[in-house]
Amino acid sequence: MSASDEAVSSEAARELLVDLVKISSPTGEEAECAERLAAFFEERGREVWIDEAGNVRAPADDSVLLTSHIDTVPGDIPVRVEEASERNTATAEGNENVSETNEEESPQLWGRGSVDAKGPLAAMAAAAVETGVSFVGVVGEETDSRGARHLIADREAPDAVVNGEPSGWDGVTLGYRGFLAGEYATSTDSTHTSRPEPNAIQEAMDWWQSVESALAGSTGAGEGAESSEQSVFEQVTAKPVEFSGGTADDGLSVEASAEVQFRIPPGETAEEIRETVEDELGSGTIDWQEPIPPVMETPRSEVGRAFRRAIRRVGGDPRLLRKTGTSDMNLYAGAWDCPMATYGPGDSELDHAPNEHLDLGEFDRAVAVLESVSETLQE
């Protein structure tokens, strides 16, 4: 399928981005934002629909599938576009040594989701319309990735995938650690608190310390990318995210539970981590969720080469990245045998942050990069 007859100007792409950020869409509440995104394709003559999972589907040339997520984490950040002149004036007022503004600076869009990931989402929508490639805006990425899971089950693999997450307009993410979560539980009979025997709360704390010790130094293996977080990327890391305990309602036992998460580097498996954790259980139990495997793509793939070429064409020096977190790309890589990478405008340090904002000049450059990549992969 060819590109739309109606070109997407930089103003139209920015307008879409601002509209999407203005529409609150925490996980589970993506419908209004999905409708605005679908309208963007409908207005330009593209086939589009919202599927039963809530994903926005705009199929076309499957030489590449551009896909990012619609949902955000919760958080109310007043949406505003801050002009460069406003920032420079504020800086000058606070610093008597600043005497002039930088006319090359771009406006910044502030608001929840501007970076993670409505910046990548809007950039991909604009590039998909311009070049005629396939597009999907998925739901639920911030929790259970239900949109990506539905997409994998509902369609065949494209020739290539570009997943949308902030990498900086001149960065390409090739690797993510995997993810494993579980809920630990233990209980002991109630006794007087003067007794020396450990209760369930103490057992849970001891269990977690033993798990951290057992996993200390566990490393995987990576290939072909540089990252300031490289040493972390290659490690198994463990994190408790919720801990509770106390006397049971019937007064006859003490109970304790913990929700825990583990990040899995390439070279390690969820099965290996589970075995290590379960060896330390003692009298406790743990209920595991379905794991997400790690992914490490080669920079020498068609997608990697297309990004390096496109970033240089727009005037940048390509950076190849590994991320210590997990994304929908992990699921796509586990299900589809095709080259892929993750890309999008924005500073990932601002993900989920109270000062989340996106430079609109960077957004424009990211659209140009995505158009160039899509055109290259269509050749």
**Residues identified as active-site:** 71, 141
H helical segments located in 132-257: 146-154, 200-215, 230-233
Rounded distance, CA 137 to CA 142, Å? Answer: 13
What is the amino acid identity at position 371?
E
Rounded distance, CA 54 to CA 369, Å? Answer: 28
CB of 88 closer than 8 Å to CB of 332: no
- Within 13 Å and on the Cβ side, how many CA atoms surround 19? 17
Question: What residue has token string 């930088």?
Answer: 102
End-to-end CA distance of the chain: 13
Rounded distance, CA 163 to CA 40, Å? Answer: 20
ω before 117 within 30° of 0 (cis)? yes
Chain centre to alpha carbon of residue 12: 25
Residue 203: exposure state from Cβ atoms within 10 A (0-12, 13-18, ≥19): buried
